Amino acid sequence: MKTLALTSSTVLALAIAAGPGYAQAGTQTVTGHLVDVMCATKHASEGAKYGATHDKSCLLMDDCVKSGYSVLTADNKVVKLDAKGSAMALELIKKTARERDWKVTVNGALAGDTMTVSSLTLQ
């Protein structure tokens, strides 16, 4: 059996050839407004303008909580948070007095449009 030794440049070349989904597998930072997935997908084209006005009462509505949470970015992208990230977001919403403008920074591994969250910070 032959052993294949890969150099770091070979691994990088393979990652680039594999496409953007693979290249995004490392830890990344996303900044934007915390919005439930249901509302974020309906209002994605409004981006930060909508995100800044989205309020706590909506973030805590049953259907909104059930849909999970996401980050609505300034360039109108919806980055969904994984189950752990959604639980972190819900805890933050419940313990914070802020009513709107839920601007957050989220760190984690991004795969497609979903982030596996390692940290979530309110700005």
Task: Give the tens place of pLDDT for each residue, 87-117.
Answer: 999 999 999 999 999 999 999 999 999 999 9
| C-alpha pair distances (Å), 22 with each of 32, 48, 88 | 23, 28, 26
Task: Give the pTM.
Answer: 0.78
Please give the C-alpha separations between residue 21 and each of 2, 15, 80, in angstroms, as whole numbers.
30, 9, 15
The mean of the pLDDT values for the chain is 85
Residue 96 in tokens: 């914070």
Contact yes or no for 112/20 (Cβ under 8 A): no
Q: What pLDDT does residue 26 have?
A: 76
Residue appearing with tokens 């979530």:
120
pLDDT for residue 25: 52
Of 25 and 33, the one with more pLDDT: 33
pLDDT in the model for residue 62: 98
What's residue 3's pLDDT?
38
Confidence check: pLDDT of 9 > 90: no
Q: Of the given ranges (9-13, 18-22, 30-34, 106-110), which has the lowest mean pLDDT?
A: 9-13
Q: What is the mean pLDDT of residues 55-84?
A: 97
